[in-house]
Amino acid sequence: MSNQIQPKLIIHGGAGSSLKGKGGLDAVRQALHEIVAEVYQLLLEGKSATEAVIKGCQLLEDNPRFNAGTGSVLQSDGQIRMSASLMDGEKQRFSGVINVSRVKNPINLAQTLQNQEDRVLSDYGSLELLRELKYSIYDPLTDLRLHEWIEERKENFTRKMAGVVAESSENARRGTIGVVALDTQGRISAGTSTGGKGLERIGRVSDSAMPAGNYANFQAGVSCTGIGEDIIDECLAAKVVIRATDGLSLAEAMEKSIKEASVNKRDLGAIALDCHGKIVWGKTSEVLLAAYHNGKNIGDCLEWDDDKLINISE
């Protein structure tokens, strides 16, 4: 046991505008903390970082409070198209699916693709993979999302996006999801999944199935959330990981990258951890729905001081 590392874990359920209403705050906190507790137990039992990330993403996808899997937002034509990716840091191997429909857990498809020659599939390829795997057809639509889309349609889709994060207790159901884990063997993996930003042009691709939004290697792992185009423009996840690999501390890498994003007026957030067990998160958005286990206890950043761009769990 002496050569084993203390596992670490951080997850997120989105980023965006301010989270108002104690009911919403408490419900989101409870959901995130319960998932952290369940996934961290797997790490304590010796499961790999990749196994933990997949389980965490599944749990977040299955919670209709978050915009991934069940509860995904509808695109402009009223259809749900989800994207997800998995990055195994030890193998430095990326896999993902883009704009897939009718599946319960898009992260499972990304997992399957880890060991294939062609590792990132778009909508048609993802559908063929679903058929090959004989997965049950699943409708991730919720009544709330349908109502939301109908209301937007009445107003001719005047709102810029379907919102990334909860605004109140009765509407606390938004956000891309992500998980980054460090296991007892020192391996790091990252996973990210999303239903998109909502009401977007058909065929739009998010950052969640790109290294811009989800990246890991032997040194660090990062999962991003927020406006996908902003994350892509910054190539945020890969940038933070590469800077940490090139010699900056994880905190320095995150701070430098988030400061650049802030100067460029991006709307985003990111969670990260490194091989030394440091847990760091950063944001330019008002809120980042993240929770973590630092080896001692569970914490979160739901009531984080807005003046600070990054934070660290010791």
Of 182, 218, 192, which is closest to residue 91 (Cα–Cα)? Answer: 218
Q: What are the CB-based long-range contacts (under 8 Å, 24+) for 131-134? A: 133/109
Mind listing the pLDDT tens digit for each residue in 194-234?
A: 999 888 999 999 999 999 999 999 999 999 999 999 999 99
Structure token pair of residue 55 = 């389980």
pLDDT surpassing 80 at residue 275:
yes
Q: Is residue 126 part of a domain?
A: yes
Q: Is residue 280 part of a domain?
A: no
* Confidence at 166, pLDDT banded by 50, 70, 90: very low
Rounded Cα gap, residues 118 and 84, in angstroms:
15
Q: Is residue 252 part of a domain?
A: no
Which residues are part of the catalytic machinery? 176
pTM (two decimals): 0.93
pLDDT surpassing 50 at residue 164:
no
Q: Cβ–Cβ contacts within 10 Å for residue 115, how many?
A: 10
Mind listing the pLDDT tens digit for each residue in 55-85?
A: 999 999 999 989 999 999 999 999 999 999 9
Q: Cβ–Cβ contacts within 10 Å for residue 314, how many?
A: 7
Q: Is residue 242 part of a domain?
A: no
Domain span at residue 128 reads 8-199+285-303
Number of domains in the chain: 1
Q: Is residue 180 part of a domain?
A: yes
Q: Is residue 309 part of a domain?
A: no
Q: Is residue 212 part of a domain?
A: no
Mean of all residue pLDDT scores within the chain: 90
Q: 159 near 191, Cβ under 8 Å?
A: no
Most confident segment among 11-15, 58-62, 168-172: 58-62
